[in-house]
Structure 1
Amino acid sequence: MSTQRVFVARLAGTAVFDPVGDRLGKVRDVVIVYRSTAAPRVIGLVVEIPGRRQVFLSIGRVTSIRAGQVISTGLINVRRFQPRPGEVRVLAEFLGRRVRLVDGGGTAVIEDVAIEQDRHGEWAISQLFLRKAKTSASPFAKGPTTFATWNEVTELHDTGESQSAEQLIASYSEMHAADLATSLLELPQQRRIEVAEELPDERLADALEEMPEDDQLSILDRLGDERAADILDEMEPDDAADLLAQLPPKRLEHLLQLMEPEEAEDVRMLLRYGADTAGGLMTPEPIVLSADATVAEALALIRRHELHPALAAAVFVTLPPFETPTGRLLGVVHFQRMLRYPPHERLGAILDDTLEAVSVTASAAEVARMLASYDLVSLPVVDAAHRLVGVVSVDDVLDYLLPDDWRTHDAEEPEPTGGAR
């Protein structure tokens, strides 16, 4: 095994490979245990394998840790990771703890830790990266940083105490929304709420959209109504409607009153339709333009970074008004078709008027059949007057058709020989 100092915060997200170069997963955390007279010892890694399941990889099965990759023996126990008594996750629990420097240097917060392998092949914490209290009153100032070894500091609280939510959120900053949701669900319930309370509204909204409804409700119930309404404003209208539909009518109406009027109006419209219909599944915010709009205008709207990929796949052409419910739907222009024409080309000249729209009352099964039959990622949804009221995308249908626990469900998989932890 190669010997080098590795900082744990930089290790997060690193790919894990078997000896022949096949990717097994990615590092999500490092697990340590305390010792009475020496620095905490590393006992393994928490690795996320396909299916977003987090499993334990013993450090004894790691043959190399270096920049950009971790090499293992290839044997991984696929049982979901559950911390045992005395085990501490560095990113989830250790970073952010407060320590006192024994040389009289005051107190500091652990911002990162380095792990290193000794001559006996054992990995342990070798160095702490610390940030001291700031010396300026400016809200933008930060305290000075320093390095220290384990025997140069003393922890200021019980070793079972969790890190600050602020430090944990920093380690989550670059995660995809689905990965963030999985990481939150791996935390103890109280810790999950602490982190949710500190996450920015947009990030928490993204994570909630990726969670099962029971977990969404658990978090929403612990937030104040004002904060809950802010989160709902940031969610996609169809996801917000699905979540609100699980609440008692009195609280549902109260939260709608606290939401921004435009966002609440979209959600109220979706709540009128059954959850198993196109109207209940759709998103009421497609890209809508007139037939006189140009390819350049359409592509400019598609480039909006906040637009969901399925909604960016096509532009819908209608008669005025151009906000849902629009005027009569004339047709659709797909993104790839626009790329074949000059920027000044009118959408009306290249639109596809053969695509059959679905009614707001169409069943989820009917929508799924149409998406599959025509190899589409989205379908227009119209009312009885053939006005465009929304778009239902393939991910909306998948969320409905998959079991409620699909994000956390452990499929039955055989364990490899020697896979016991």
Structure 2
Amino acid sequence: MTETTPQPSAASVATIHLSQLLKSPVIAGSGESIGRVDDLIVRLPGGDAYPPVTGVVVSVGGRDVFVSAERISEFGVDRIVLAVNKVDLRGFERREGEVLLRTDILGHRLIDVAAAELVRAYDVELDHTGDSWVLARLDTRPPARFFGLIKSSGGHASRDWKAFEPLIGHSQSLNVRGVSARLRGLKPAEIADLLEEADKRERGEILDQVHGDPELEADVFEELDSDKSSRLLNDMPDGEVAALLGRMRADDAADSIMELRQSRRRRVLDLMPAGQRVKVITLMGFNPDSAGGLMNTDFVSCPLDATAGQALSTIAVAHALQPEALLKVHVLDADRLVGVVSVIALLQTDPATPITGILDDDPVRVSPETDLTDIALLMADYNLYAVPVVDDTDRVLGVVTVDDVLEDIIPEDWRRREPAPRPVREPAPASTNPTANPDGPAQL
């Protein structure tokens, strides 16, 4: 018998929910019921295509068997009709890269890329493209409950499959999916939030992906809660920890070193790049709640005889510094602080203007012993984003930036609050006409 691609018929529709298909009867070409739908199989394609349905797992007399999509003549909301009279009764075995919609997606979590959060899939929508059925959308809205019983939610809150990073923690398809550019395109703080919410398997996969981008990995660890960062670092070998801390800001690296077991600290420090090791050891000598413990030892500076244009050029090449540390240039004379000038003043001044004509020659500064509360009050009183830390001779030791102060001053119970939900654009209604978009599912 010639195998045909399943097409919509009078009894079928252009969009089907997985929940409608599960446990539905599977009818042979002769009209005989041979089993019930246990699961649907898709294969994740390369590029930006939707995953096509490649087969059905059918429960036949207590045995799960595979039926290829090519042997199906009709997908309906209440049944599947085969184009053949018999099926191969050998037990179903999953092949590399196959994804089972019920087993692997329903009830499991995925990354909502736009909202940068982990969400759970409660249903799957399949669309007919004219050539095949494809996984088109997910429903991530929990079903309504009434006295503990699950009731219909009264419709589906479906969103495009491409809005999600699929199957986090699903090792069977990891090789097919590869490293996700979408996941690595999230902000470091967003990835850190995902790691803090993820379970062990999900966390392992997210870490594997960011590990492929060393700079992103360092940025993510800078954003992690100290307890979570400590647990993750404890699971890494000394060499990897040293390399990671070597790419982090010195103040964050010092905090991470202090979170390690004391028996590991010296080993990790010895493996770190020499320059970073010196900075970290210096910072470790200060009280962590003081200016010395909070400061970053990297800052942007220029000599007293510089022009506005030359000062701006120092900012242009300071790629390794955090943006907050670039808002002001520290003007030095023989390594002593004689003033600061804001980047705004530099941008609004003729490049040939001497720096002495626009600097603030009496800037707010603090000693390494200044405590966190005093720094916060100074920043609030003088509307500062950064404060230089100087020794007794006015030599600049580092800079405390506003993000460091906020991170330490926010109450712990605030950190456990759920953030306000991000607005998500409602999808356009899906077309019920299978010819409306012959190249793929309705775009949301």
Q: How does 1:318-397 map to 2 (within 5 A)?
A: 318-320=332-334, 327-397=335-405
- The 8 Å contact of residues 390 and 397 in structure 2, kept in 1 or not, is answered as yes
What is the rounded CA distance, in whole Å, between the counterparts of 1:191 and 1:265 in structure 2?
36
* Amino acid aligned to 2:139: G
Q: Structure 1 residue 289: deviation in Å? A: 1.2
Secondary structure, counterpart of 1:219 in structure 2: helix
The residue number in structure 2 matching 1:62 is 157
Deviation string 1:82-119 (CA, Å, 9 cap, x unpaired) is: xxxxxx98252459717xxxxxxxxxx654xxxxxxxx
What is the rounded CA distance, in whole Å, between the counterparts of 1:379 and 1:233 in structure 2?
24
Decide which structure has the larger Cα Rg and report it.
2
- The 8 Å contact of residues 330 and 353 in structure 1, kept in 2 or not, is answered as yes
- Alpha carbons of structure 1 residues 375 and 64: separation in structure 2 relative to 1, 3 Å: same
Deviation string 1:34-63 (CA, Å, 9 cap, x unpaired) is: 99xx9879663389xxxxxxxxxx894537
2:207 to 188, 196, 203: 196
The residue number in structure 2 matching 1:207 is 220
* Amino acid aligned to 1:218: R
Q: Structure 1 residue 284: deviation in Å? A: 0.6
- The 8 Å contact of residues 387 and 400 in structure 2, kept in 1 or not, is answered as yes
With normalisation by structure 1, the TM-score equals: 0.62
- Alpha carbons of structure 1 residues 63 and 256: separation in structure 2 relative to 1, 3 Å: closer
Deviation string 1:6-28 (CA, Å, 9 cap, x unpaired) is: 959xx9544xxxxxxxxxx5776
- Alpha carbons of structure 1 residues 371 and 245: separation in structure 2 relative to 1, 3 Å: same
- Alpha carbons of structure 1 residues 247 and 404: separation in structure 2 relative to 1, 3 Å: farther
Q: Structure 1 residue 186: deviation in Å? A: 2.7
Structure 1 position 313 matched with structure 2 position 408: no
What is the rounded CA distance, in whole Å, between the counterparts of 1:282 and 1:292 in structure 2?
27
The residue number in structure 2 matching 1:44 is 139
* Amino acid aligned to 1:62: A
Secondary structure, counterpart of 1:358 in structure 2: coil
* Amino acid aligned to 1:287: V
- Alpha carbons of structure 1 residues 66 and 257: separation in structure 2 relative to 1, 3 Å: closer
What is the rounded CA distance, in whole Å, between the counterparts of 1:225 and 1:329 in structure 2?
38
- Alpha carbons of structure 1 residues 293 and 29: separation in structure 2 relative to 1, 3 Å: farther
What is the rounded CA distance, in whole Å, between the counterparts of 1:404 and 1:180 in structure 2?
20
1:218 to 231, 238, 248: 231
The residue number in structure 1 matching 2:186 is 175
Q: Structure 1 residue 411: deviation in Å? A: 7.2
* Amino acid aligned to 2:327: A
- The 8 Å contact of residues 338 and 362 in structure 2, kept in 1 or not, is answered as no
Q: Structure 1 residue 408: deviation in Å? A: 4.4
Q: Structure 1 residue 171: deviation in Å? A: 3.6
2:197 to 186, 195, 203: 186
- The 8 Å contact of residues 33 and 40 in structure 1, kept in 2 or not, is answered as no
- The 8 Å contact of residues 319 and 330 in structure 1, kept in 2 or not, is answered as yes
What is the rounded CA distance, in whole Å, between the counterparts of 1:311 and 1:332 in structure 2?
12
What is the rounded CA distance, in whole Å, between the counterparts of 1:59 and 1:188 in structure 2?
31
RMSD: 3.7
- Alpha carbons of structure 1 residues 28 and 256: separation in structure 2 relative to 1, 3 Å: same
- The 8 Å contact of residues 298 and 321 in structure 2, kept in 1 or not, is answered as no
Secondary structure, counterpart of 1:389 in structure 2: strand
What is the rounded CA distance, in whole Å, between the counterparts of 2:117 and 2:244 in structure 1?
29
* Amino acid aligned to 2:168: A
Secondary structure, counterpart of 2:304 in structure 1: coil
Secondary structure, counterpart of 1:379 in structure 2: strand
Q: Structure 1 residue 269: deviation in Å? A: 0.8
- The 8 Å contact of residues 291 and 317 in structure 1, kept in 2 or not, is answered as yes
Q: Structure 1 residue 292: deviation in Å? A: 1.4
- Alpha carbons of structure 1 residues 46 and 279: separation in structure 2 relative to 1, 3 Å: farther
Structure 1 position 227 matched with structure 2 position 240: yes
Secondary structure, counterpart of 1:230 in structure 2: helix
Secondary structure, counterpart of 2:394 in structure 1: coil
Q: Structure 1 residue 403: deviation in Å? A: 3.3
With normalisation by structure 2, the TM-score equals: 0.59
* Amino acid aligned to 1:402: I
Q: Structure 1 residue 364: deviation in Å? A: 0.4
Q: Structure 1 residue 328: deviation in Å? A: 1.6
- The 8 Å contact of residues 339 and 363 in structure 2, kept in 1 or not, is answered as yes
Q: How does 1:196-275 map to 2 (within 5 A)?
A: 196-198=207-209, 199=211, 200-275=213-288
Secondary structure, counterpart of 1:97 in structure 2: helix
Unmatched runs of 5 consecutive residues or more in structure 1? 15-24, 48-57, 71-87, 99-108, 112-165, 321-326, 414-421
What is the rounded CA distance, in whole Å, between the counterparts of 2:342 and 2:119 in structure 1?
42
- The 8 Å contact of residues 380 and 391 in structure 1, kept in 2 or not, is answered as yes
What is the rounded CA distance, in whole Å, between the counterparts of 1:271 and 1:173 in structure 2?
31
- Alpha carbons of structure 1 residues 66 and 191: separation in structure 2 relative to 1, 3 Å: closer
What is the rounded CA distance, in whole Å, between the counterparts of 1:251 and 1:27 in structure 2?
33
- The 8 Å contact of residues 28 and 45 in structure 1, kept in 2 or not, is answered as no
Secondary structure, counterpart of 2:240 in structure 1: helix
- Alpha carbons of structure 1 residues 370 and 28: separation in structure 2 relative to 1, 3 Å: same
Deviation string 1:359-383 (CA, Å, 9 cap, x unpaired) is: 1100100000000000110011111
- Alpha carbons of structure 1 residues 46 and 310: separation in structure 2 relative to 1, 3 Å: farther
The residue number in structure 1 matching 2:294 is 281
- The 8 Å contact of residues 381 and 391 in structure 1, kept in 2 or not, is answered as yes
Deviation string 1:219-266 (CA, Å, 9 cap, x unpaired) is: 111111001000001111111111111223331121111100000111
Q: Structure 1 residue 218: deviation in Å? A: 0.8
Equivalent residue pairs, number: 298
- The 8 Å contact of residues 50 and 136 in structure 2, kept in 1 or not, is answered as no
What is the rounded CA distance, in whole Å, between the counterparts of 1:6 and 1:26 in structure 2?
22
What is the rounded CA distance, in whole Å, between the counterparts of 1:284 and 1:257 in structure 2?
20
Unmatched runs of 5 consecutive residues or more in structure 2? 1-13, 17-47, 52-110, 126-132, 143-152, 422-444
The residue number in structure 2 matching 1:299 is 312
- The 8 Å contact of residues 138 and 160 in structure 2, kept in 1 or not, is answered as no
- The 8 Å contact of residues 177 and 210 in structure 1, kept in 2 or not, is answered as yes
- Alpha carbons of structure 1 residues 342 and 221: separation in structure 2 relative to 1, 3 Å: same
What is the rounded CA distance, in whole Å, between the counterparts of 1:176 and 1:412 in structure 2?
18
The residue number in structure 1 matching 2:168 is 92
